[in-house]
Chain A
């Protein structure tokens, strides 16, 4: 048996390893996805005031600080049993959608985009954001930077700080928005919507106009029929900030729809000895291993999942793109027929980008966001609470239990990427099975196509905020398992 190691994975947060075990006849025997994530955050939270969690948890991850900020704030609201004022609700929703728009922009253009814009077989030195800019033009790159800046500016206005917001507190928000700031956000919202339209054009021109890419997206190598999870509003429309968690089976039937506080009735976590990262699964279905189908508790929580569990989008442009998405991929624009193609997640992300931009535009025109009534001072004795939001990478759950003074005595976090751990492992294996055969030369393109299987999930495993100098070399070692002899080494230079 031969072992192929891809380590570290490029273009995702944190470091991970993929082990592919290849039989003598060249067939793939098994696949292990290892994640050396930082551990012990729940323990780290103990002994801290629950109102501080919204600021501390932004340091868990340099990619989704806003998601942790909001999930922690919602959990703290629940701990104190307080309902936040309508204006605070709208401000949180507004800033959260601005964050989503920026995050999805980054992934589409800097992470997932290079695989399609530059091509999956392009040399690594070209398959990056500079390669994307070279293809789509300098002006497009300027728009990407401007879009990110717009999102950051909205976060700064409402969240108090760029990147790491601080204003969501138990009971509401600590900072009101002035009329001048509202006017500025309105302009930024308009800009975001125009950028979203531009992104649809890029998607059409570069990806969907290329039959080879459409074939790649729809290929069996990148498909899994699992359950899907996501937050929905009362009309079962996608909602990033609030709602009930809806779980839909691979056959399109609703498995569950529950309040965040009830999540432990529906989700459990499986442990494998080779990985620090747990494998959440649907409790009432059970853990049946890394298999898909209605009898397996494996589920996905991703942009594609959110579309699959919903009955549509709550804004007009996003709804139109939602219908085009399903009409193209399933010939049923209603969305009732599931899309299981992992690579379609990139397109789903664009649908969500449009929605997020429209929500910023819509909420910025609601004069209630300038109200002074942004805080309901908590008066109840704190006890226990759960906060759930949709992070860009999936459903994010914060669960705190406190003493009567609001000091955290127990915390449980299920982050977006963790939901997808089992599905990511399965996707990597499926992609490798389709690509690694007897006598196959393992090229850089082959490796990248395997990586594409999980890059679509936009996984995020790291917690350190940065690295210097930041290069991440890629090395592949092929062993003959019987003799231990190294038969092939492939290195990706940075």
Chain B
């Protein structure tokens, strides 16, 4: 079954975005039984088992590019993210690097991985609340995820394990 993998840390302000999106999706009947929604406060190596053997995956995460206004939601293909040479550690290795490692070992990864990001305003404050602009981005993100799900249906992506 495809997975919507929401990443983040529930106690660091806008890094909580993935958690909020996951909670919103769990209450949305459209997603029931067709896709697994999973929140994970994990990164790097730890994501490989969650993505392995999935026909498709959408990763939801917070990002800080400095190029967009906080709360800006964008969809990216995983190819937009270049692997890091540094493989900094189990925690901070980039997702593309983790995928490269998985491919090296022949672990079946989704043929299609897309990434939904929200531009963060605050990734430092210990808080169980999003900043206003990022909080307002949860609903638009939900709409984009519906479109993603529809596109997978149209493209006949298998929705069964």
Contacts and interface: CB of A to CB of B under 8 A. Distances in A.
B115 interface: yes
Nearest to A145: B105
Interface residues of A, number: 46
Interface residues of B, number: 45
A133 B88 contact: no
Main secondary structure of the interface of A (DSSP, over half): loop
A44 B86 contact: no
Contacts of A106: 45, 89-90
Contacts of B104: 130, 133, 138, 141
Interface string B120-159: 0001111000000000000000000000000000000000
A162 B46 contact: yes
Interface in A1-52: 10-13, 38, 40-41, 43-44
A281 to B, nearest CB: 26
Contacts of A163: 40-42, 46
B109 to A, nearest CB: 14
Contacts of A133: 104
A127 to B, nearest CB: 8
B92 interface: yes
B94 A56 contact: no
A466 B42 contact: yes
A423 to B, nearest CB: 21
B1 interface: no
Interface string A128-163: 111001000010011001001100100000000011
Interface stretch (A66-74, A170-178, A325-333, A469-477): A469-477
Nearest to B85: A125
A468 B61 contact: yes
B101 A38 contact: no
A468 B61 CA distance: 8
A40 B126 contact: yes
Nearest to B91: A62
Nearest to A114: B87
Contact of B124 (A13, A38, A138, A469): A38
B88 A11 contact: yes
A338 interface: no
B10 interface: yes
A124 interface: yes
Given A38-B126, A44-B126, A472 B9 contact: no
Contact of B15 (A63, A162, A464): A464
Given A128-B87, A465-B9, A469-B94, A41 B126 contact: yes
A138 B10 CA distance: 36
A317 interface: no
Given A38-B124, A471-B94, A494-B84, A44 B89 contact: no
A192 to B, nearest CB: 17
Given A138-B105, A463-B9, A466-B61, A129 B87 contact: yes
B11 to A, nearest CB: 5
A125 B100 CA distance: 14
Interface in B69-85: 81-82, 84-85
A493 interface: yes
A491 to B, nearest CB: 13
A307 to B, nearest CB: 23
Interface string B30-70: 00000000001111111001000000000101110000000
A128 B85 CA distance: 7
Contact of A124 (B10, B86, B90): B86
Contacts of B89: 11-13, 63, 106-107, 110-111
Contacts of B125: 40
A275 B77 CA distance: 39
A148 B45 contact: yes
Contacts of B90: 63, 106, 110, 148
Interface string B1-27: 000000111111001000000000000
B41 A465 contact: yes
Interface string A432-474: 0000000000000000000000000000001111111111100
B88 A470 contact: yes
Contacts of B8: 465-466
A13 B90 CA distance: 10
7 contacts: A11-B89, A129-B101, A163-B41, A464-B15, A465-B15, A466-B7, A466-B9
Interface of A: 10-13, 38, 40-41, 43-44, 56, 59, 62-63, 106-107, 110-111, 124-125, 128-130, 133, 138, 141-142, 145, 148-149, 152, 162-164, 462-472, 493-494
